[in-house]
Amino acid sequence: MRSILLVASILFLATAATATGSALSITRSVFVETAQQDGIALEPADTLSRGDRVVLVMQWQPGRATGPFVLASRVPETLSYQRSGDDAVEVSADGGRRWGRLGELRQGTRAARADDVTNLRWRIGADDGSGMRSFSAIVR
């Protein structure tokens, strides 16, 4: 039961994407990586266990949006961020107070690591239309 609640909370929290100043239709999905004979496959996540590798996907349709916007997502505490599917991602390691590239941020006296990431955001251009952003994580 706990793992089903975990999937539901990840779907709600991690991908509670916000696009400021626009009316967007955002679809959120969570997939788990599974080993196959010929590589790795992504399957919709029904249950998750500690150590599972997951991919969280946010897809949007612009609706009435006509200008650029910011797509943001919180990384749930039950996940350890690994990487984004887009190099243009900005990250925060302090709950969204400071933003930058992972190699630029500090966590106290040391450089912030991927597992320190608490929030992600992507700046989406007005001409991007519909699209998708994703990130991968490991269940803690």
User: Can you give the pLDDT at residue 66?
Assistant: 63
List of residues 6+ apart from 128 with CB closer than 8 A: none
Instruction: Label residue 62 by pLDDT band (50, 70, 90).
Output: confident
Calculate what percentage of the chain has a pLDDT beyond 70.
81
d(CA 123, CA 115): 22
How far, in Å, CA of 103 to CA of 91, rounded? 10
Out of 10-24, 37-51, 59-73, 121-135, least confident range: 10-24
Q: What is the pLDDT of residue 15?
A: 41
pLDDT of residue 54: 97
Over residues 83-134, the pLDDT tens digits come to 998 989 999 999 999 999 998 999 989 999 999 999 999 998 877 778 899 9
